[in-house]
Homo-oligomer: A and B are copies of this chain.
Amino acid sequence: MNIPTSKHPRLVIIGGGFAGLKLAKSLSGQPVQVVLLDQHNYHAFQPLFYQVATAGLEPGSIAYPFRKIFSASKQVFFRLACVNFIDLPNKQIKADIGNLSYDYLVIATGATTNFFGNKNIERLAMPMKSVSEALNIRSLMLQNLEKALLTNDANDKDSLMGIVIVGGGPTGVELAGAIAELKRDILPKDYPDLDMRVMDIHLIDSNARVLKEFDERSSQVAMSELIKMGVDLRLNERVTDYDGKTIQCASGQNLPAAMVIWAAGVKANIPEGIPEAQLTGGRISVNAYNQLIDFPEVFAIGDVAVMISEEYPRGHPMVAQTALQQGALLSRNMKQLLQGLAMQPFHYKNLGSMATIGRNKAVVDFPNFRLKGWWAWCMWLFVHVFQLIGFRNKVVVMISWAQNYLRHARDLRLIIRPFKQSN
Contact = CB atoms under 8 A, between A and B. Distances in A.
A399 B143 CA distance: 31
B399 A60 contact: no
A68 B391 CA distance: 29
Interface string A191-211: 111000000000000000000
Given A41-B146, A150-B2, A150-B97, A68 B399 contact: no
A97 B412 CA distance: 24
B65 A416 contact: no
A224 to B, nearest CB: 31
Contacts of A417: 132, 417
Contacts of A265: none
Contact of A58 (B61, B64, B65): B61
Contact of A189 (B42, B71, B77): B71
Given A392-B403, A403-B392, A411-B65, A416 B152 contact: no
A288 interface: no
A26 to B, nearest CB: 20
Nearest to A411: B392
Contacts of A192: 71, 74
A409 B189 CA distance: 38
A390 interface: yes
Nearest to A191: B67
A98 interface: yes
A393 interface: yes
Given A42-B414, A59-B416, A79 B149 contact: yes
Contacts of A399: 392, 395-396, 399
A111 interface: no
Contacts of A392: 399-400, 403, 409, 411
Interface in A1-53: 1-2, 4, 40-42
A415 interface: yes
A41 B415 contact: yes
Please report whether the interface of chain A is mostly helix, strand, loop or mixed according to DSSP: mixed
A190 to B, nearest CB: 4
A330 interface: no
Contacts of A414: 40-42, 59-60, 63, 65
Given A71-B189, A400-B396, A413 B65 contact: yes
Given A60-B58, A392-B400, A417-B417, A68 B411 contact: yes
A135 interface: yes
B411 A393 contact: yes
Contacts of A41: 142, 146, 413-415
A105 interface: no
A306 interface: no
A305 interface: no
B4 A416 contact: no
Nearest to A3: B193
Given A60-B414, A63-B416, 4 more contacts: A68-B190, A71-B189, A71-B190, A80-B415
**3 nearest A-B residue pairs (beta carbon):** A67-B190, A71-B189, A58-B60
Interface of A: 1-2, 4, 40-42, 58-61, 63-65, 67-68, 71-72, 74, 77, 79-80, 97-98, 131-132, 135, 142-143, 146, 149-152, 189-193, 390-393, 395-396, 399-400, 403, 409, 411-417
